[in-house]
């Protein structure tokens, strides 16, 4: 059975080599959804009877790996004009996330998907990480 959990974060980014508006620093209200597959617990009387996983456990993973690390942050590719500026001027408590890839929705879905997959209990199978950059634009990383 497939179950999903979604969180929301605010984060800025830019796409340095883009020819359109996205080349400038800007932000989004991202939605990040994790889809996992597993079997329902059929143990009568168990706290999680009838569940694949408690949604609270999925939320905890999403909060620890995505919300805590990226919400209200700014993600930028290293070794670019903007990456160099942010890296050089970053203050101790600034939430600047420097990465080795262009921070597009597609790349974020893959990056976050791999992180989330590695946090799942062994009995669950990672299915996808879906990222909404806008209410009508999504990228999905599947395995």
Domain ranges of the chain: 2-70+105-142
Helix ranges (DSSP H) in 27-91: 55-62, 68-70, 81-89
Q: How far apart are CA 109 and CA 48, in angstroms?
A: 29
- The predicted model gives 63-76 an average pLDDT of 98
pLDDT, residue 22, reads 87
Q: Quick one: CA dihedral 45, 33, 127, 112, positive or negative?
A: negative
Q: What confidence tens digit (pLDDT) does each residue in 9-65 have?
A: 999 999 988 888 988 999 999 999 999 999 998 999 989 889 999 999 999 999 999
Q: What confidence tens digit (pLDDT) does each residue in 83-123 have?
A: 999 899 988 889 999 999 999 999 999 999 999 999 999 99
Which residue in the block uniquely carries the two structure tokens 């893959």? 110
pLDDT, residue 110, reads 98
Q: Quick one: CA dihedral 43, 44, 48, 50, positive or negative?
A: positive
The CATH homologous superfamily of the domain defined by 2-70+105-142: 6-pyruvoyl tetrahydropterin synthase/QueD (3.30.479.10)
Which positions are annotated as active-site residues? 22, 72, 133
Q: Is 57 helix (H, G, I), strand (E, B) or coil?
A: helix
**pLDDT band at 143; cut points 50, 70, 90:** confident
106: its two tokens: 């597609």
pLDDT, residue 98, reads 96
């Amino acid at each position: 059975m497939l179950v999903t959990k979604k969180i929301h974060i605010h984060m800025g980014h830019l796409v340095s080599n883009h020819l359109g508006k996205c080349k400038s620093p800007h932000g989004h209200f991202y939605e990040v959804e994790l889809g996992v597959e597993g079997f329902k617990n059929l143990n009568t009387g168990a706290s999680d009877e009838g569940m694949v996983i408690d949604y609270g456990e999925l939320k905890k993973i999403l909060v620890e790996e995505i919300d805590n690390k990226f919400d209200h942050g700014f993600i930028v590719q290293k070794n670019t004009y903007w990456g160099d500026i942010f890296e050089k001027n970053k203050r101790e408590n600034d939430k600047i996330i420097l990465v080795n890839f262009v921070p597009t929705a597609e790349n974020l879905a893959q990056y976050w998907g791999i992180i989330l997959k590695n946090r799942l209990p062994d009995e669950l199978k990672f299915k996808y990480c879906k990222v909404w950059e806008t209410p009508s634009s999504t990228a999905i990383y599947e395995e």
